[in-house]
Amino acid sequence: MSKLYLITGPAGVGKTAISRVLAKHLNKSVLIEGDDIYHMVVSSYVSAWEPGNHLDLFWKNVISLIKNSLENSYDVVFNYIINKENYLMLKEKFKEYEIIFKVLLVSEEELLRRDKLREEENRMNERCLVLLDSFIKQNFDKEFILDSTNLNIKETIERIIK
């Protein structure tokens, strides 16, 4: 049976890099990068954290892509900023599938270091720390938290798969 991998964490934590390598590691997989789906809206684009955003359309598109992929026997790796409410919604929508949910966290210093490695137009600077704080305050179950501060990509993926 197909699996759904949900990879989340603050901006700059490594969701994209981890998800890409994880998807390549799986036998038959689809990678859905939340940012790509969100940025499909061109005209009238509003940042996800701003009023008037298009998150309703985003989630409808994501759910459809995940559903189509799972129904066609693909494992799905989806990465985006997923809060507790989003996770519970996805868990309910895809309850017939095995879901592997991981919240990637790192120290503040490591997060800022990783953010500086991104292309300048993709850097989030202090917003990374705001998101890190919001993930910590959500009190996700410990089984979902993966501190990757001292892990490389291969080690992080090994822990996700286990």
Burial class (CB in 10 A: 0-12, 13-18, 19+), 42: exposed
Whole-model pTM? 0.93
Q: Is the pLDDT of residue 162 over 90?
A: no
pLDDT digits (tens, 9 = 90+) for 29-81: 999 999 999 999 999 888 888 888 889 999 999 999 999 999 999 999 999 99
Q: What is the 3-state secondary structure (H, E, C) of the chain?
A: CCEEEEEECCCCCCHHHHHHHHHHHCCCEEEEEHHHHHCCCCCCCCCCCCCCCCHHHHHHHHHHHHHHHHHCCCEEEEECCCCHHHHHHHHHHCCCCEEEEEEEECCHHHHHHHHHHCCHHHCCCHHHHHHHHHHHHCCCCHHHEEECCCCCHHHHHHHHHC
pLDDT on residue 141: 95
Query: How many domains, in total, are found in the chain?
Result: 1
CATH code assigned at 69: 3.40.50.300
Identify the domain containing residue 54 by its residue range. 3-161
